């Protein structure tokens, strides 16, 4: 999402473009067929699209995880524009959303996002990928370890593995349950967008897990719930005040 809202980053090499199209075809078939980003804000009157747009708007305005990530993106020179960087579309399978690095756009799967809480998690998860895309040169399509690292961070920091979500999934555990959940969710996310074996996905996650699990930017901590996220947002906003006084 680097650059201004109306600007596009330089195009990737031809080989990488083909890899991007292959991934887009697997999960977001309409994007490849149209050859352009999907519907923008208020461009459709279909019920699913309207519902998706309204939930997105509420998420952007009220969710503390998302508000922190939006501030962090802007602080890093990658300001997010709702109309440019989000698109509600139908997706294949059970995928809830995705970050399309070729267009620097977050896709929200309007046919699979069930309710407001689900929208909050999906937007947070994908904004973490967008933040990683902004701050580092991530080889999404050529190095599965880069993808694995961002998936570990997204599972760890988005609330995917909160206690209440794990209870709803009927997953219970005591010792290091959060780490186990993060590892499992990261592997599932990789398998959803890459045609690789589970063993290869597990190996990639294992190789990056320690460093990426302990990378808490921009939250500064693991935000286990909205209260933690609000504290993290407050601390992030105070960073500039602190540095300006040095």
Q: Could you list the active site residues?
A: 126
CA angle, corner 94, sides to 145 and 118, nearest 5? 90
Q: Residue for token digits 């699913």? A: 48
From the CB of residue 242, how many other CB atoms can be counted at a distance below 10 Å?
9
Report the distance separating Cα 178 and Cα 194, nearest Å.
Answer: 24
- Structure tokens that stand for 100 in this block: 């399309």
From the CB of residue 201, how many other CB atoms can be counted at a distance below 10 Å?
21
Report the distance separating Cα 233 and Cα 198, nearest Å.
Answer: 36
User: Which residues are paired to 89 by β-bridges?
Assistant: 109
Of the candidates 214, 217, 65, which has an alpha carbon nearest to the alpha carbon of residue 132?
217
Q: Is the peptide bond before 198 cis (omega within 30 degrees of 0)?
A: no
């Amino acid at each position: 999402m680097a650059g201004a809202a109306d600007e596009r980053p330089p195009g990737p090499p031809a080989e990488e473009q083909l890899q991007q199209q292959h991934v887009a075809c697997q999960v977001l078939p309409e994007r490849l067929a149209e050859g352009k980003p999907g519907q923008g804000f208020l461009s459709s009157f279909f019920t699913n699209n309207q519902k998706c747009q309204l939930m997105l708007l509420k998420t952007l305005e009220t969710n503390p995880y998302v508000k922190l990530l939006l501030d962090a993106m802007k602080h890093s020179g990658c300001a997010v524009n709702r109309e440019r960087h989000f698109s509600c579309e139908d997706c294949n399978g059970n995928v809830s959303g995705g970050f399309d690095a070729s267009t620097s756009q977050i896709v929200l799967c309007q046919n699979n996002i069930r309710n407001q809480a689900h929208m909050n998690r999906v937007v947070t998860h994908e904004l973490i990928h967008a933040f990683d895309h902004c701050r580092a040169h991530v080889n999404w399509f050529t190095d599965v370890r880069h993808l694995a690292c961002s998936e570990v961070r997204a599972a760890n920091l988005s609330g995917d593995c909160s206690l209440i979500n794990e209870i709803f999934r009927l997953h219970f555990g005591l010792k290091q349950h959060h780490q186990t959940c993060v590892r499992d969710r990261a592997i599932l996310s990789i398998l959803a967008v890459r045609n690789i074996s589970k063993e290869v996905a597990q190996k990639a996650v294992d190789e990056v897990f320690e460093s990426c699990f302990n990378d808490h930017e921009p939250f500064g901590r693991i935000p286990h719930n909205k209260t933690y996220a609000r504290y993290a947002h407050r601390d992030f906003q105070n960073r500039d005040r602190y540095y300006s006084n040095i």
